Amino acid sequence: MTLKPVDRRSVLQMLAAAGSAPFVLKSSVALAETPLTVGVLYSGSKQDYGFNQSHAQAAAALKKQPGIKLVEEERVPETIAAQRSMEGMIRQDGAQLILATSFGYFKPHVLEMAAKYPDVTFAHTGGVWTAGMPENIGTFYAYIFEAQYISGIVAGHMTKSKKLGLVAAKPTPNLLRSINAFAIGARSVDPAIQVQVIFTGDWVLPVREAEATNTLVDQGADVIAAQVDSPKVVIETAEKRGVMSCGYHSSQADVAPNGYLTGAEWNWITPYLVYAGSVRAGKKPEHYLRAGLGDHFVKNSPFGKLVTPEARAAAETARADLIGGTRVIYSGPLKDNKGNVVIPAGTTQSSNDRVLDGINYLVEGIIGQV
Amino acid sequence: MDSTSIGWFSLPLAILGGAIRVSTPFIFVSIGELITEKSGRINLGLEGTLMLGAMAGYAISYLSGSPWLGVLSAGLAGMAFGLLHGLLCSVKRVNDTAIGISLIVLGTGLAFFLGKPLIEPKAPPLPSIGLGFWSTVPQVRAALDVNALFFVGIALAFAVYLFLNRTGWGLMLRTVGDSEDAARALGFPVLRVRIIATMAGGFLAGIGGSFLSLSYPGSWSEGLSSGQGIMAVALVIFARWRSVNALGASLLFGGAGALGPALQGIGVTGYYYLFNAAPYILTLAIMVASTSRAAPFADAPGELKLHR
Amino acid sequence: MSSISGIEPGPSSPPVTAAQLGLALPVLAVLLASAIFAAFVALYGQNPVTVFGLIVQGGFGSSFAWQDTLSRAAPLVLVGLAVAIPAQAGLVIIGGEGALVLGGLAGAVVTLPFAGAHALPMQLLMSLAGALIGGLWFGLAGVLRQYRGLNETISSLLLSYIGIAIFHHLTEGLLRDPASLDKPSTHPIDPSYMLPVMPGVGVHAGLAASLSLAVIAHVVLRYTRWGFALRVVGGSARVAKMMGLAVNRWIIGASVVAGGMAGIAGAIEVAAVQGTANSSLIVGYGYSGILVAFLARHQPLAIVAVALLIGGMQASASLLQRRLGLPDATMLVFQGLIFVCVLVADAIAQQLRETTRR
């Protein structure tokens, strides 16, 4: 049974009901002041200059809200330790909202703990709630691929060699969605552009990421993008080789002052506030919360100095089209890189189409294998 | 395909580049461990020393603006840790292996703790020498963009060979490592020699670590090491305790490590986990092929006790 | 410190017995390590008293803390045995990580063809599968040592890395469950086959299995001729041969049993916690096992105590992070200090035992 995914209006309604409105990080709208202890779990280091840090930044912003008390634990492995940490936060620290920020926490850890503590809300990044699971679980994610699409457009304008490179961890659907969107964006500028993907095999492997970046540049790529937990090494290596780069999770512009074009960044504070609001209002958490550029769940990094006015304009237009709904990234006819038609002509799969949760192909124009 | 891509030729080039880039920390750490083991001690704590060196090197480079000062500091930090190991293992009946592993925990913990503020800042990296200036192909130039430490490493391998086999000090070291009784009979200060050897090993391991954070991959983070410190001990055994062999082993390991991404680059996209494990498979295969039933420890220093 | 050249007791016999010292010294060591650690945290603006209070509370201060400690200690016992058993025979095998994950994989897939069976035979089957694969992996290192002269430390390490690569390759390829979208895993096992939580204790039954195996190992090693034979082989292969022991068989046998322990640990992780095999199995248990075994001087009962200590420290690390905002690395520093101090104290104690025996 599929849930109707959250659409833009619902997000607005939820935030309004919680006493706030969609905004970017620095807004001063206040939530109701009931004290709330929030527990956050990170699978890696909070200062990884990547995925975990993006959550930590949002957590820090959440902490500034009146009445919010934060307990955090980093480097929690996806073993029984995760369950123990969550329990500790609930029993010892009185947490009423748990933010489990890594995929691996969902099965079985969040599921077990949610069943054991039905009065606590568990919000998990990236999991997929289905009927039959405990009602106190919310799963959230963001359409980061919309921001990657924009990055792709910018990269497509800026590339001279017509070849882009992407260093990715593993071919999971979340990553494939982004990789494909990047390629679709670039190829919308020029269908002759190719994107080469190298999979490193794991989320954090600095030496292999550096090797992969070097290989991609050797193969002619002049823009490098990253889909790993901490893109710092990839971006730095690209800068050393004198090629352009696109970032991920947060802005790595200071690491690549010359070549940084733009990047796809999370804005986790928005869903965090939704869940804090629903706990305070005593309501069930949103089971499947996803949104993108329009609802401030994701954003793009400011443009780097090399980005031409033409590229900027194209990016802005695309952004406005996506938010307005006049442009859909995954629209037919779309073929994968083995020649099969994956989206027939005339069909579109909008960002909130659940079929994208199970994506398992690489689009035409991508050199690489799932 | 456009003119800047070089197709399948990129594979041997990547292996060459990888052999140079990835091997450098292994060269330093394995030769450092070799010196220590030649004196009869085994220092398994180099993983912690390496991380501490990486962190210290990055920190000092950032604070002082000079990467070479960073390298030196990394060496000194490593040396201090080596001193600690040396002193601790001089207590009778202490198990070297256990101390080593405990120092991995301590060293890594200190490195992570003190290194927290260093993850975002950008420290000046070590300069490299562009040996590929003769080529117009950018990929060749990139592969031959060699860090000065690599040359130091090569020189080190030969220098250590000469030291061990052609000098009086080297003879003393080897005697201490081969037979404690003979060393005492000759009046050699066994403990002091071992402690100094462990300090030298730590110094070199620290420098190896600084290469990781200041040159390649060139950034400090908690996932920086992927077991280089522990693998270096394996490489020493693989090299039969000969420093020039250790150089070759490191090059082999580094080159094999580049295989995974390089193969994907030329379109061989399946089985990448197994290709990524190539260095380990290769090392194991060569060792199996080259050892014989007769003498597993033929070349080991006599006093080296791996399991006591 | 005069301990550099070893403590020489004076001409008169010491006022305390060696046994008393043997107990007191490790305690003193922990105190020393704690003092150093206290200075360390004080340097960073934390009140050492608060820190220690939280450490004790987090690891051992309540039944909840005890449950936490026990559940974190459970896998450490078996991986500790995986290092300790071959060590009795003179081998240093450090490839527990690879054997554990492959054992876990074996356990995760072996019950998939069977639906609706009783839980207990399935659980035994999982353990058996894990033990066989883990035993195979360590046995390889043993065989390479005896028949090719290949040092088992290096071969087990290399095999561990290779094993992990094979694990990744299979769990994300051939054996992957297509429904496991963003966390590639094998098909989940039937939930009724999972190990239950022990009533009253609040920890899964894998703990009981681990403790039982530790006790069995203790009994076998200390009171049976197998244990004796193993120690003879570990003492001197030449002497063992003179006594007529088939050294090869003992060494390979010890390796296989040890690998079996690691493999069972992996299977228990799957059966008690994860319910499937995926990268959550690769968390460094194998390496912790090395530490546990050496700290415990390869004695199975001491391994249980050390596992509890380390489990308690991990549990309290969680509390330290949450209450004081101290980074995860803080506990690593404390652990390192304790290990070093205890090892040295233990060595001094052993030395004293030997000198007072004269």
- pLDDT, tens digit, for every residue of C61-80? 888 899 999 999 999 999 99
Here the tokens at position A157 are: 């304008």
Q: How far apart are CA B143 and CA A284, in angstroms?
A: 57
The amino acid occupying position C344 is: V
**B142 to chain A: closest CA residue:** A241
Whole-number pLDDT of residue A10:
57
Three-state secondary-structure class, residue A366: strand
Q: What is the pLDDT of residues B199-242, one digit of tens each?
A: 999 999 999 999 999 998 888 888 888 788 888 888 998 888 99
Touching partners of C (3+ C-beta pairs < 8 Å)? A, B
Nearest residue, CB atoms, C182 vs list A72, A93, A172: A172
- pLDDT score recorded for residue B202: 96
**What is the C-alpha to C-alpha distance for residues C139 and C252, in angstroms, rounded to an integer?**
6
Kindly indicate the confidence band of residue C1, based on its pLDDT and cuts at 50, 70 and 90.
Answer: very low
Question: Which residues from B are below 8 Å from C295, CB to CB?
Answer: 98, 102
CB contact under 8 A, A207 and B257: yes
* Residue A328 backbone dihedrals phi, psi, to 5 degrees: -125, 130
Nearest to A197 by CA among A253, A152, A259: A152
Contact residues, chain A, for C269 at CB < 8 Å: 79
The structure tokens listed for B166 are 């052609």
Q: Copy the structure tokens of residue A349.
A: 């799969």
> What's the sign of the alpha-carbon dihedral C159, C163, C166, C168?
negative
Whether B272 and A201 lie within 8 Å, measured CB to CB = yes
Find where tokens 């305070």 sit: A280
DSSP A120-147: SEEEEES----BTB-TTEEEEEE-HHHH
Q: What does the pLDDT look like over B50-107, one tens digit per residue?
A: 999 999 999 999 999 999 999 999 999 999 999 999 999 998 888 888 899 899 999 9
Cα–Cα distances in angstroms (integers) from residue B296 to residues B65, C139, C231, C336, in the given order:
48, 17, 20, 33
The residue type at C117:
A
Query: Would you tell me which residues 316-335 of chain A have a C-beta closer than 8 angstroms to some C-beta of chain C?
Result: none
Please give the structure tokens belonging to residue A12.
């607005």
| Contact criterion met (CB below 8 Å) for A219 and A196 | yes
Q: In terms of CA atoms, which chain A residue is nearest residue C71? A: A80
> Which pLDDT value is given to residue A24?
37
Partners of A240 on chain B (C-beta within 8 Å) are 218
Q: Do C328 and A104 touch (CB under 8 A)?
A: no
- Choose the mutation target among C2, C40, C41, C157 for the interface with B, i.e. most B CBs under 10 Å: C157
> Phi and psi (nearest 5°) for A281?
-80, 0
**pLDDT more than 90, % of chain A:** 72
| Residue A94 contacts C, CB cutoff 8 Å | no
Are A81 and C72 within 8 A, CB to CB?
A: yes
The Cα B121–Cα A43 span in angstroms is 22
Neighbours of chain B (3+ CB pairs under 8 A): A, C
Facing residue for B274 by CB, picked from C91, C169, C295? C169
Tell me which chain B residues have a C-beta less than 8 angstroms from the C-beta of C343: 88, 94-95, 98-99, 102
Residue C246 confidence (pLDDT): 87
Are the CB atoms for C157 and C95 separated by under 8 Å?
Answer: yes
CB pair distance less than 8 Å for B120 and A47: yes
Instruction: Report all structural domains of chain B as residue ranges with CATH numbers, in order of start.
Output: 7-304 (1.10.3470)
Please give, rounded to a whole number of angstroms, the shortest distance from the CA of C26 to a CA of chain A. Answer: 28
pLDDT at A366: 94
Could you tell me the pTM of the whole model?
A: 0.88
Whether A106 sits inside 8 A of C325 (CB atoms) is no
Cβ contact A92–C64 (<8 Å): yes
Name residue A348's beta-bridge partners. Answer: A331
As for the ipTM of the complex, it is 0.87
CATH of C58-355, one of 3.30.1060, 1.10.600, 1.10.3470, 1.10.1060: 1.10.3470
CB contact under 8 A, A367 and B267: yes
Which residues of chain C lie closer than 8 angstroms to B294, CB-CB?
A: 149
Question: How distant is the Cα of A228 from the closest Cα of chain C, in angstroms?
Answer: 14
Using the predicted structure, report yes or no on whether residue C225 has a pLDDT greater than 50. Answer: yes
CA distance B214 to A96: 44
A–C CB contacts, 8 A cutoff, strictly below: 85
Q: In this predicted model, what pLDDT tens digit does every residue of A303-351 receive, in sequence order?
A: 999 999 999 999 999 999 999 989 999 998 999 999 999 999 989 998 8
Would the pLDDT of A22 be above 50?
no
Residue C18 is predicted with a pLDDT of 64
Mean pLDDT of chain C: 88
Judged by average pLDDT, the poorest of A159-163, A246-250, A355-359, C303-307 is A355-359
Task: Report the pLDDT value the prediction gives residue B18, as an integer from 0 to 100.
Answer: 83
Q: How far from the centroid of its chain's Cα atoms is residue A299's Cα?
A: 10
* Residue to test with chain C: of A51, A72, A92, most C Cβ within 10 A: A92
Categorize the per-residue pLDDT at C242 as very low, low, confident or very high, splitting at 50, 70 and 90: confident
Q: Return the number of other C-beta atoms located less than 10 Å from residue C65's C-beta.
A: 22
DSSP C2: G
| Nearby residues of B125 by Cβ (< 8 Å), 6 or more positions away | B61, B67, B214, B215, B218
Instruction: Give the pLDDT of residue B140.
Output: 82
Average pLDDT over residues B140-150: 85
Give the model's confidence band at C356: pLDDT under 50 very low, under 70 low, under 90 confident, else very high: confident
In A183-212, the residues whose Cβ lies within 8 Å of chain B are 196, 198-201, 204-212
Using CB atoms, which residue from B97, B99, B112 is nearest to C340? B99
Does the pLDDT value for residue C350 go beyond 60? yes
